[in-house]
Amino acid sequence: MVDHAYCFSCGNETPVGGTTLVLARRIVIRNQENVEQVLNGESVAQVCPSCQTVGGTRQLELKSSMPPFLSVEIAGLFRYLEGMAIEREVPGLEILPLGCVICEEAIPLGTRFVYVELSLDTTMEKGELVDPLNKVAVANVCGVCADKTWGVQVERGLLSASPCATKDCPACAPLRIVSSRVYNEMRKRDSAQEKPTLINEPALEDISWLFDELWPLMDRSSAHRDRMIGVQDEISSCFQEWASEPNQLLKALDNLEGVGLVIASGLIFSANRDTMVPFDQYTTGWCLEKNILPDHYISLEENYANYCGRVSDYVQNSPHLDSVLDFVREAASESQFPIPPE
C-alpha cells in the first residue's frame, strides 16, 4: 500500500485509487520454512499510471533513490512495463533460490540479505491498507554485495545510502527505457530508404580470430574453435540462406549442435565487426549496466538486429570508443554483472 505515491519519472502523485509500479528493496531473513522476515524496506523506483503507459509504448526516464539499478532490475522493469502495455498477464510471485545474483554465492539460511521485488501498489487514503498486486520476485543480493553496490549496511539493517558526491556520476544517471515497439519503428524509419545489408560469411581466419584473439579465456575456447572449423560447411549454409536476415541467421546458427547464442553471435560478428555484436556474458551485462539494452533476450522476435543497432548507435555517439570491438573489450574488463544472453 502506498500513501499518495509520487512518480520518480515525472514527479506527479498517483491519484487515490490508482496503482503505482514500485521497485522495492528489502532487508530480509529467510528461515528453515522458507518464510522471510522483513527487517527494513525502501521503494527505490516508482512509476505512476501515466508513465507506466509511456514506458510500455514510448520512452521513459526513471531515477533511483538508491543507484545503481542492477541489470536484472532493469530487465524486470522493462518486461513488466511492456507486459502491461500489451495487457499480458504478469507471472505470479515465485520464491527465488537463496543465492546472490551478483557474486552467485549461496546465501545461508538465517542471514540477512536484500530481496528485490516489483509490484503494483494502490494509492489509498491514510489509514487504509491494501496488499500490493502482481508481485514479481526480481533478485536476491547477499549483504556483502549489497553493501558494496549501494553503500548500505545490511547487517545493521540500514538501507539508506549516503548521497553520491560524484558530478555527472554514470551510476546515478536516470534509467532510459525505450520500448521495443518504438525502437523497432525508429530503426524501420531510418532504414526505409536503405538497401538490405548482406551479412558477410566468416572465413577460417575469422573463426580462429574469434576464439584465439577475442575469447581466449572462454571455457574450452580451443575446443569450440576446432568444433566450429569442423562444421564450417553447415555454418556457411546458414549464412548463404539468411545473409539478409540477421535474426533468422542467429536462430539458424543457434540450432546447430554445439553452437548456442553466444557463439552464434560471435560468428556473425567475426566477419561483420562494424555492424554486429558478439553477445557474450560480459558484453550483454555491460549493455544492461549502461542502459543500452532493456533486457538480455536477444533471440526474441526481432531483438538481435535491433540490439546490435543500439550498441552501434551507442559506440558512434561515444567520445572514447572507436568501434564495437572497443566496446566488447571494455565490457570484458569493466562489467560487474555479466549475464548470458537468452
Nearest to 197 by CA among 158, 249, 154, 265: 249
Number of domains the chain contains: 2
Cell output for 73: 532490475
Residues 143 and 245 in one domain: no
Q: What is the pLDDT of residues 151-176, one digit of tens each?
A: 899 999 898 766 666 666 666 666 66
Residues 263 and 224 in one domain: yes
Residue 84 belongs to some domain of the structure: yes
Q: What is the mean pLDDT of residues 189-214?
A: 77
Residues 55 and 178 in one domain: yes
Residue 309 belongs to some domain of the structure: yes
Lowest average pLDDT, out of 86-95, 213-222, 275-284, goes to 86-95
Residues 139 and 281 in one domain: no
Name the β-bridge partners of 177. Answer: 60
Angle subtended at Cα 325 by Cα 323 and Cα 329, rounded to the nearest 5 degrees: 125
Q: Does residue 146 have a pLDDT over 90?
A: yes
How would residue 181 be classed by pLDDT, with cut points 50, 70 and 90?
A: low
- Sequence-distant (6+) residues with CB within 8 A of 22 are 2, 5, 43, 45, 46, 47, 118, 119, 120, 121, 132
Q: Does residue 269 have a pLDDT over 90?
A: yes
Q: What is the pLDDT of residues 62-71, one digit of tens each?
A: 778 888 888 7
**Cis omega before residue 132 (within 30°)?**
no
Nearest to 280 by CA among 301, 308, 261, 295: 261
3-state secondary structure of 153: strand
Residues 30 and 159 in one domain: yes
Residues 321 and 203 in one domain: yes
Residues 130 and 254 in one domain: no
Query: Which pLDDT does position 78 carry in this prediction?
Result: 77
Element (H, E) at 206: helix 204-209
Residues 278 and 322 in one domain: yes
Query: Which pLDDT does position 91 carry in this prediction?
Result: 57
How would residue 1 be classed by pLDDT, with cut points 50, 70 and 90?
A: very low
Q: What is the mean pLDDT of residues 129-145?
A: 84
Residue 9 belongs to some domain of the structure: no
Residues 80 and 149 in one domain: yes
Query: Which pLDDT does position 142 carry in this prediction?
Result: 94
Residues 34 and 174 in one domain: yes
Query: Which pLDDT does position 113 carry in this prediction?
Result: 95
Residues 149 and 79 in one domain: yes
Q: What is the pLDDT of residues 232-242, one digit of tens each?
A: 889 999 999 99
pLDDT, averaged across the chain: 82
Decide which of 162, 182, 202 is a domain's last residue.
Answer: 182
What is d(CA 22, CA 10) in angstroms, rounded to the nearest whole number? 14
Q: What is the pLDDT of residues 114-127, one digit of tens each?
A: 999 998 888 777 64
Q: Does residue 86 have a pLDDT over 60?
A: no
Range of the domain at 319: 191-334
Residue 340 belongs to some domain of the structure: no
Query: Which pLDDT does position 332 carry in this prediction?
Result: 92
